Amino acid sequence: MNRKKPLSEDLKFAGEHIRYAFRHWHETGITSTLGGLLNTLRVAEEDMARFDRHALIADHWEDLRVALSYVELFGDPNLHDDDLPLTFEYMLANIKEDIDLVEQLIEGLGESFKFADLPKSKAT
């Protein structure tokens, strides 16, 4: 899909965030379109939802499937240095935000929009 007009500020922000956050998934072939990314995020969300929301991810590392790939985007859960422990509840909130941004992009650009065509942040 070629866009003729510039992206709105909301879509530009969402596109830059998603391109930066999931660049590893694109580079390794996990995703190439917005629809594919959304599907992978939903599968990862379902994978995490199998566990108690208050359980620590580090305690279930070996039990994760697709969600492991998502969690690894944030680094080693044992080295998590935020004030909040790295629980499934914490990561489910993160993935929900990412899903919302991808859905916003799909609404404006379509499911078949190529990940590589998302706008790049000036910082990257």
Q: Worst-scoring range by mean pLDDT, 29-33, 40-44, 72-76?
A: 72-76
Mean pLDDT of the chain: 90
Is residue 115 over pLDDT 70?
yes
Higher-confidence residue: 5 or 79? 79
Q: How many Å apart are CA 37 and CA 99, to the nearest integer?
A: 9
How confident is the model over 12-21, as a mean pLDDT? 95
- Residue 11 confidence (pLDDT): 94
Q: DSSP of 32-75, one letter per residue? A: SBHHHHHHHHHHHHHHHHTS-TTSBGGGGGGG-SHHHHHHHTT-
Contact 70, 102 (CB under 8 A): no
Whose tokens are 């917005």? That residue is 34
How confident is the model over 58-71, as a mean pLDDT? 92
The count of other CB atoms within 10 Å of the CB of residue 81 is: 6
Share of the chain above pLDDT 90, in %: 74
Question: What ranges do the domains of the chain cover?
Answer: 9-110
